[in-house]
Amino acid sequence: MRIFDPHIHMTSRTTDDYQAMHTAGVRAVVEPSFWLGQPRTSPASFIDYFDALLGWEPFRAAQYGIAHHCALALNPKEAGDPRCVPVLDELPRYLDKDGVVAVGEIGYDSMTPAEDHALAAQLQLAADHELPALVHTPHRDKLAGLRRTLDAVHESALPADRVLLDHLNETTVKEAKDAGCWLGFSVYPDTKMDAARMVDVLTEYGPEKVLVNSAADWGRSDPLKTREVADLMLVSGFTEDDVDLVLWRNPVAFYGLSGRLVLDVPGAGTGATHEGNSILRGGS
């Protein structure tokens, strides 16, 4: 079984996680830009983070046989902070880089005017740079949040079929599907979607354009949730081809819209270095 986790924050995870993910079948990930859990205090903080998502983290992933790409953006949690917003001026030069396969994650958190501005600006950046966009939908007030998100997409220059709407659930999937977007579901240990609900959604709406992710980060989360959904799909009567569509071919098709997806992993297990540094921290 081959698995592509289309939304995971590996910077927050250990090498044990990479090892376990590889054992479970994960061969590719996309890491969208996230907030730190505490506020960033200047645009320079993003620059080091973006550089790590383009350099150190793909190197670290490759040591475990996993292809790593990223999506870059000003995160919704930071869109209202005047110390962070100037990073919008830095994004264009980063969005031209090879490892960037989308703008994201963008979208609404509290649905403020500042978030309206950041979302519209970044949907335009995606259109300008011929990238798809990973759009987070709010965890609270989900249907109203989805509708406001769809309004922003429809007002933008980015076609709906280049948008992945994430953190969907039973209340939002139908309108997202009717709008022609890609459908993302984050499966968490004890909140939001779980594997059983995910399989029910797949049974009702089908596997087309559906992507399942762990959204694992520094909070309570599990990078093996993708495999759990795959196993439960098989037990529930889905075919291996259905599993491959949801867990591999759909993410490849969506991020492939960037024209930048490279799924061969050079250097796995070779003890290679990145700018002179290895995951052995100076050991050999």
Binding site for Zn ion (CB under 5 A): 215
Nearer to Zn ion among residue 129 and residue 139 (C-beta): 139
**For residues 75 and 53, is the Cβ–Cβ distance under 8 A?**
no
Cβ proximity to Zn ion: between 133 and 243 the closer is 133
Place of tokens 């479970």: 24
- The candidate with the shortest Cα–Cα distance to 181, out of 130, 137, 120, is 137
* Closest residue to Zn ion, based on beta-carbon distance: 215
- Name 187's bridge partners: 193
Of 91 and 215, which has the nearer Cβ to Zn ion? 215
- 115 C-beta neighbours (distance < 10 Å), count: 23
For residue 62, the minimal CB distance to Zn ion (Å) is 22
Fill in the amino acid letter for 220. Answer: R
Q: Shortest gap between Cβ of 236 and Zn ion (angstroms)?
A: 26
Q: How far is the CB of 159 from Zn ion (least distance, A)?
A: 23
Nearest distance from residue 48's CB to Zn ion, in Å? Answer: 19
CB of 187 to Zn ion, least distance (A): 13
CB of 234 closer than 8 Å to CB of 1: no
Q: Which residue has the tokens 């003890």?
A: 271
Minimum gap (Å) between residue 182 Cβ and Zn ion: 16
Give the closest residue to 198 by CA, choosing from 244, 239, 167, 219.
167
What are 243's two structure tokens?
Answer: 């599993």
- DSSP 3-state helix, strand, coil percentages of the chain (rounded to 5)? 45, 15, 40
158/215 with CB nearer Zn ion:
215
Cα separation, 159 vs 182, in Å, equals 11
- Closer to Zn ion by Cβ: residue 187 or 243: 187
C-beta closer to Zn ion: residue 8 or 243? 8
